[in-house]
Structure 1
């Protein structure tokens, strides 16, 4: 797994990193759900009805799940941890507009111990890309971040993976260029040749499209 180490600018990341913002929003929602479930449990127990006790049990389960998510999110939302553990991957801008940008990224979704690699194209819609030109084909180095909630992958592949731009973690254009240079030209060229597949990828339920290993260029098997 190829990693890219750099000093994360936390102030910058807190302001623009949409992955971190999403995880923080998830924690707030989980805490709200937990609070509502606790209130519902108390009301149902106070009713003294048999059916109330059954529903209270369900509410207790909901509370436990919501609290687990709220406690799990801060651990997952460490910006340094996300960048440190994520593999460096290439992404390119395929579409621009008033809503932001659409990125097409090339990621290996196989677990590290898997006997073979599983290359896939994934897409992500983002609002901002500081440090990058707002144009089709712009090369955006990123890291692959696992977004599924399961404690481990299913089989030998991660189920949900997204791309988090390096530019969301630093203002330094030299760092972004260094990350861009660390990605092989073979990978960049593969994305450039498949820009038109972005629409097809976005229409899939998982926002990803597995690539046929037989059609991969040499050096990317």
Structure 2
């Protein structure tokens, strides 16, 4: 697995990292719902009826579940720094430009068994970087790989998404070093597939598995 180490800029992460933002929004939503449920439980308990007491208990249990989500989210996802450090470095390019954002197209091995890779084209929408990029702009990323369920027996990861390095650093030297670490043939292959971006973006889970017969020789050798 190809990895890339760099110092994650906390300010840049809080400003533009969508993965960090999604985690915080989920925690905030859980916290707000927990407060509402606790308030409802108190009101139901003070009503001092048998059925309202039962409702109060149910609401209290639901509130505890919401508070557990607040703790569970960072444990499940890990820190942004750990995600960058542990995720495989993958090529990603700007494949579509929209009024308020862009689509990134990435080439990712989604297999759990590294000796038997399954390559896929994966897209992710992100806010418009500055300066405004061109189609084909290289955006090195790490692949975020996970399952929806801990006991999943699928040979491939159920949740796959590229997390661009520029969400974690604005240092152009770091980004250039990451770009250089990815073989030129992977960049070339991905660039040639830009025309498939819309097909990938509108497909289930925003990914399209590349059939083994369609893999170029350099990707076959990786297996």
TM-score (normalizing by structure 2): 0.86
- State the distance in 1 between where 2:108 and 2:59 align: 39
Residue in structure 2 matched with residue 101 of structure 1 by the alignment: 102
| Pairs aligned (count) | 218
Output the aligned Cα RMSD: 2.3
Residue in structure 1 matched with residue 84 of structure 2 by the alignment: 83
1:166 counterpart = 2:151: no
Offset of residue 81 of structure 1: 1.1
What secondary structure, in the 3-state scheme, does the structure 2 residue paired with 1:124 have? Answer: strand
8 A contact 1:103–1:123 mirrored in 2: yes
What secondary structure, in the 3-state scheme, does the structure 2 residue paired with 1:139 have? Answer: coil
Residue in structure 2 matched with residue 201 of structure 1 by the alignment: 200
Within 5 Å, which residues of 2 pair with 1:132-171? 134-146=133-145, 149-151=148-150, 153-171=152-170
Within 5 Å, which residues of 2 pair with 1:29-44? 29-44=29-44
CA-to-aligned-CA distance 1:116-159 (integer Å, 9 cap, x gap)? 111111111100435x7611011110011136553365422211
What secondary structure, in the 3-state scheme, does the structure 1 residue paired with 2:217 have? Answer: coil
Structure 1 unmatched runs, 5+? none
- State the distance in 2 between where 1:51 and 1:207 align: 46
8 A contact 1:83–1:143 mirrored in 2: yes
- State the distance in 1 between where 2:212 and 2:163 align: 25
Structure 2 unmatched runs, 5+? none
Offset of residue 57 of structure 1: 5.3
8 A contact 2:27–2:69 mirrored in 1: yes
CA-to-aligned-CA distance 1:2-55 (integer Å, 9 cap, x gap)? 1100111112222121211111111101111222222333344445244862x5
